Amino acid sequence: MIRLPLPQKIETERLLLERLRYEDAEEIFYSYASKPEATKYLSWETHKTIDETRMFLDYAVPSWDNGTDFAYSIRLKNRLFIGGIGISNDNGKIQFGYAISPLHWGHGYTTEACSRLLGIVKTMKGVYRIGTFVDCENAASIRVLQKCGLIEEARLPKWFRFINQGNRVKDCLFFRLLP
């Protein structure tokens, strides 16, 4: 298995990305995980209780040590929690995703966090592919991916069942980062 030596903290001009901790549960829940508008295009169900967020952390925190998933909080430099970003490592094939509090949409934070994290990951030994898929209707995420240098590789008809959209199967676009 390809082990990724990801840093536990990453700094950008305006942001701090830090390895998720159990103590982040309330901030995750109240900033985006419980917000239907923030989870509409995500693969997991909108959290109805903070216990659901804690269950997510029961997976995310040890997954870092296993080397399979690396989840970060996204904070402004004043320490305000505004979202999350993470990558999954399938032996050097990387998939990533993110979610931002609706209160912080439209400020370029997602692009800043994504660009920085992908810039680190793409230089790591053993990483041979970086990509993600997005609902064809998620125009904001499509713009973020394009700004981060990803290219559309394929349109995937009826590719993914989005639980927060009535469990409907939707067309998706697959994006990848060029080497």
Question: For the chain, which residues make up each domain, given as ranges?
Answer: 9-130
Minimum mean pLDDT among 12-16, 18-22, 64-68, 117-121: which range? 64-68
For the chain, give the percent of residues with pLDDT over 90: 97
Q: How far apart are CA 85 and CA 19, in angstroms?
A: 10
Q: Match 């109805």 to its residue by tokens.
A: 48
**pTM of the entire predicted model:** 0.95
Q: What is the pLDDT of residue 6?
A: 96
Residue 51 pLDDT: 98
Strand ranges for 24-106 from DSSP E: 69-76, 81-90, 93-100
| Strands 93-100 vs 81-90: parallel, antiparallel or unpaired | antiparallel
* Cβ count within 10 A of residue 82: 22
For the segment 17-73, what is each residue's pLDDT rounded down to a tens digit?
999 999 999 999 999 999 999 999 999 999 999 999 999 999 999 999 999 999 999
Tokens (6 digits) for 6: 């990801």
Backbone φ and ψ for 122, nearest 5 degrees, come out as -65, -15
87: its two tokens: 């990558």
Q: CATH topology for 9-130?
A: Aminopeptidase (3.40.630)
